[in-house]
Amino acid sequence: MGAPDKLIGGSFFSLLFTKQKFGVIIKIQTYVLFKKGVNVVLERDNIVMHIDVNSAFLSWQAAYNRQMGMEEDIREIPAVIGGSEERRHGIVLAKSIPAKKLGVKTGESLMEARQKCPNLKVIPPSYDVYTRASRKLRDLLAEYAPKIDVFSIDECFMDFSGTRDLFGDPEELAHRIRKRIKKEFGYTVNIGISTNKLLAKQASEFEKPDKVHTLYPEEIQEKLWPLPVGELFMVGYRTVPKLNQLNIYTIGELANTDRELISGLLKSHGRLIHDYAWGKDASKFSEKSSMPFKGVGNGSTIHFDVEDRLTAHKILLSLVETASKRLRDEDMSCRVVAVGIKNKDFGYHSHQRKIPVFTNCTHDLFEIIRELFDETWDGSPIRHMNVRFTDLERTKFKQLNFFQNEYSMKMEKLDMAIDGIREKYGKYAVIRAEYIDSGLSPVLGGYPNDEYPDMSSIL
């Protein structure tokens, strides 16, 4: 569990000046005693907060629609953000509260959702909007927290350890952040406060929306233990029945079951969730918290079999368009480029290359992707393709590249101009001529979770 509470009465430090004058070393030592008032304040060493956007995609879409002047608030009607209904992947990505009340669930097919709610409004996702909203949120949080770890597109951990002098009471601070997000961005969040990441995350899961909750170690028994065991982080739907067989239904029952028994049943995963039930989590904030991305990937399952090289190139270009823009949105450039191809019998081939210079230019990245594809493809019908850019570096620290030719510099300027137009007027406002009447989407791509390296079992 977190570090012990600390009593603070005053602090003490020394300044040491060393000065050499006329060959004689003069040392001046100054002692300063800060007095922090008469009352002794009980202060914790570690304060961690977890912030979670309530129904993120739907909230961001609603806030965006309002900014665009639309009257209807999709949060107040049965509505979902969902993939294309005609194509293969039509699932509910996020739902409004009225849709939830009608039984609509995240992850179910749009067809199932429609059966429960015939007048359901289905809005296709605008990943560009969500990426920007996520980045804006992180920028705002960075004004407060010295360290931020991104957990997923709509969840961050913030380390406030040792900042009480700066920000005061953590709960009041969390409410200030919550209210500011609501006022400036127009959507709601939940914030959980504790002494480690696990407990902060569990706290943000309590009653939603627009709430701040604490779950300090001394509150575990009262607030965490009565909950169903499936609500504990890392206890998935496959683990729940196994625990139920041992008569474990609540988190408290898991905590109070013999550790060896759980370990015998579920091995290291069992030991992990047993620790979690006691609120034990030793995960640290990453040192590179300013760089949340390890890589950007983009892939698409195609709704027909691709059998010719030119069509494949066009689809790859549309994937690169989205993925390279995402790099530019994050001020990142990459040095490792990879392509993956799945054929209709689900055979998978991938190929990657390290390039001499960091880039985020659509044109340059596509040239490499096309070469890699041509070297890899055996001519069999293709079902799925993906591109991936890794080994990232902040673009603003990019060294001047003397080898870059004039054409590629022009292409970078073109990227900036196209990005600007697409942000303002939508992603189809400018498209490449080869896509006209091709039946292909000129800009493809979703927002796969694997872009976030921390979106895994490890906090």
Residues belonging to the binding site for Mg(2+) are 52, 154
Q: Is-contact 272 234, C-beta < 8 A?
A: yes
| Interface stretch with Mg ion, choices 49-57, 294-302, 373-381, 445-453 (CB under 5 A) | 49-57
Q: At its nearest, how many Å lie between Mg ion and the CB of residue 377?
A: 39
Q: Does 56 bind Mg ion (CB under 5 A)?
A: yes
Which residues face 91 on adjacent strands?
A: 109
Q: Does 150 bind Mg ion (CB under 5 A)?
A: no
- Closest C-alpha among 211, 228, 219, 165 to residue 195: 219
| Cβ-based neighbours of 328, under 8 Å, separated by 6 or more | 360, 395, 415, 416, 419
Annotated binding site: 52, 154
Q: Does 149 bind Mg ion (CB under 5 A)?
A: no
| Interface stretch with Mg ion, choices 15-23, 85-93, 101-109, 153-161 (CB under 5 A) | 153-161
Q: Is-contact 159 147, C-beta < 8 A?
A: yes
Stated length of the chain: 459
Phi-psi region of 194 (alpha: psi -120 to 50; beta: other; left: phi over 0): beta
Give whichever of 205 and 367 is closer to Mg ion, judged by the CB atom.
205
Q: Does 134 bind Mg ion (CB under 5 A)?
A: no
Q: At its nearest, how many Å lie between Mg ion and the CB of residue 134?
A: 11
Give whichever of 134 and 386 is closer to Mg ion, judged by the CB atom.
134
Which residues face 354 on adjacent strands?
A: 336
Give the SS3 label for residue 44: coil
Positions of E strands within 47-198: 48-53, 79-82, 92-95, 121-123, 147-152, 155-159, 189-194
Q: Does 154 bind Mg ion (CB under 5 A)?
A: yes
| Segment (H or E) for 299 | strand 295-306
Give whichever of 63 and 317 is closer to Mg ion, judged by the CB atom.
63
The residue count for binding Mg ion (CB under 5 A) is 4
Q: Does 128 bind Mg ion (CB under 5 A)?
A: no
Give whichever of 52 and 149 is closer to Mg ion, judged by the CB atom.
52
Q: At its nearest, how many Å lie between Mg ion and the CB of residue 56?
A: 5
Q: Does 229 bind Mg ion (CB under 5 A)?
A: no
Q: At its nearest, how many Å lie between Mg ion and the CB of residue 18?
A: 54
CA distance 428 to 415: 14
| Interface stretch with Mg ion, choices 22-30, 122-130, 151-159, 393-401 (CB under 5 A) | 151-159
| Interface stretch with Mg ion, choices 52-60, 291-299, 389-397, 405-413 (CB under 5 A) | 52-60
Q: Which residue in 86, 155, 287, 393 is the catalytic one?
A: 155
Q: Does 330 bind Mg ion (CB under 5 A)?
A: no
- CB half-sphere exposure, 9, CA atoms < 13 A: 1
The answer to whether the peptide bond before residue 356 is cis (omega within 30 degrees of 0) is no
Distances (CA, A) of 293 to 136, 443, 449: 15, 22, 11
Give whichever of 95 and 388 is closer to Mg ion, judged by the CB atom.
95
Alpha-carbon radius of gyration of the chain: 26
Q: Catalytic annotation on 218?
A: no
- CB half-sphere exposure, 176, CA atoms < 13 A: 12
CA distance 170 to 164: 7
Q: Does 159 bind Mg ion (CB under 5 A)?
A: no
End-to-end CA distance of the chain: 15
Q: Which residues inside 191-220 make contact with Mg ion, applying CB under 5 A?
A: none
Give whichever of 40 and 234 is closer to Mg ion, judged by the CB atom.
234
Q: At its nearest, how many Å lie between Mg ion and the CB of residue 137?
A: 11
The pattern of x and - marking residues 282 through 321 that bind Mg ion according to CB under 5 A reads: ----------------------------------------
Q: At its nearest, how many Å lie between Mg ion and the CB of residue 93?
A: 11
CA distance 234 to 254: 13
| Interface stretch with Mg ion, choices 56-64, 232-240, 335-343, 371-379 (CB under 5 A) | 56-64
Q: Which residues inside 388-427 make contact with Mg ion, applying CB under 5 A?
A: none
| Cβ-based neighbours of 31, under 8 Å, separated by 6 or more | 12, 14
Which member of 2, 48, 52, 387 binds Mg ion (CB under 5 A)?
A: 52
Q: At its nearest, how many Å lie between Mg ion and the CB of residue 440?
A: 33
Give whichever of 53 and 315 is closer to Mg ion, judged by the CB atom.
53
- Which positions are catalytic? 155
Q: Give the interface with Mg ion as residue ranges (CB under 5 A).
A: 52-53, 56, 154
